Amino acid sequence: MERIKDMGAAFISEPHALGGTDPDCERFASRNLSLANTHMEDAVMRAVRHLTA
């Protein structure tokens, strides 16, 4: 489960890298990058749910 969470954290940092925004901030460069982040967070959550079910 920790591996999934760590992979998710690295994956979720990518929209910030693409938009040139600070990963410690919740703002993204565009709405599309914000939506991508939301879906990435959802994917990680669902994978963890599967493992803990």
- At residue 25 the predicted structure's pLDDT band, cuts being 50, 70 and 90, is confident
Give the separation between CA 24 and CA 40, rounded to whole angstroms: 16
CA distance 1 to 29: 30
Contact in structure between 48 and 5 (CB atoms under 8 Å): yes
Instruction: Return d(Cα 21, Cα 37) in angstroms, integer.
Output: 13
Read off the pLDDT of each residue in 1-7 and give the average, rounded to a whole number.
91
Q: How far is CA 23 from CA 4, 19, 20, 51, in A?
A: 19, 10, 9, 27
Residue 18 clears pLDDT 90, i.e. is over it = yes
Instruction: Indicate if the pLDDT at residue 24 is higher than 90.
Output: no
Would you state the pLDDT for residue 1? 87
> What is the per-residue pLDDT across 27-36, written as a single tens digit (0 to 9) for each?
999 999 999 9
